[in-house]
Amino acid sequence: MNQAIGVIDSGVGGLTVVHELMRQLPKESLIYLGDTLRCPYGPRSEGEIKTFTWELADFLLEKNIKLLVVACNTATAFTLEELKKHLSIPVIGVIKPGARAAVKFTKNSHIGVIGTEGTIRSNAYPRALKSISAYLRVNSLACPLFVPMVEQGVLSGTEAEQMVGETLLPMKEQNHIDTLILGCTHYPLIKDTIQKVIGSQVTVISSSEETAREVSTILEFYGQLYNGTISPAHRFYTTGEMGVFAKITEGIFKESAEYFQSVTIERAVLPY
């Protein structure tokens, strides 16, 4: 039986992780749930973030997934350890893979991190980076306007460049970082604009590739990689309006996705 890999996110950003999983693990089936109705998670309280994340996880657990990817950085920062503690399947977040990738690329040990207010407030990236090397210098910047911009489908052009330019000005003025972590899975959808604003001298890191590699390693370790002949079946769920979600999904995958559905998720009973 080809059990699927489950991926949850606060909106459409985690689709960048799904895309990389499809590339690296072409035989695996994937189920995605984006909470576009309640996006963004960044400004929300820790309690809300935990509750929402458990609701998403419970929805996918009912689909008999074999591994869960928490593709939202904010949800990873506040809920990953609890999910790992209470669930019987492997759970992977996106923060540690992103941190490892940044450390590989930096030459001057000065790394920038941009993310939602919640992710930056959690201090999760500086902790993850400094657990690898205590000598790293880390500058963090919250970018609260980016997720709403992406969720509205504004991914390029004058409006996007102006908003990104104004937001990243404090990071750019420091002019010391040589590596920038996109600490939100929505941000790769505007990566070209971010790269243009921050400058070609800075390596822009998305955690998607490293996260997919970690999924592959863990599934291989547990003997759960699918090696059969049945073609993968991918399903995409959203808690919100279907139009923009479907448009962005098809823009990422360059084709019409097989299965879309808008769903209502039940309130979770937290295991603590």
Active site residues: 72, 184
Three-state SS annotation for 148-194: HHHHCCCCCCHHHHHHHHHHHHHHHHHCCCCEEEEECCCHHHHHHHH
Q: Which residues contact 229 (CB under 8 A, 6 or more apart)?
A: none
DSSP 191-247: HHHHHHHH-TTSEEE-SHHHHHHHHHHHHHHTT----SSSPP--EEEESS-HHHHHH
Q: Which residues contact 261 (CB under 8 A, 6 or more apart)?
A: 235, 236, 237, 238
Instruction: For 259, list phi and psi in degrees, rounded to 5.
Output: -145, 115
| Cα distance between residue 138 and residue 124, in whole Å | 12
Containing H/E element for 76? helix 73-86
The identity of residue 249, as a single letter, is T
| Cα distance between residue 189 and residue 197, in whole Å | 15
Contact at 8 Å (CB) between 103 and 205? Answer: no
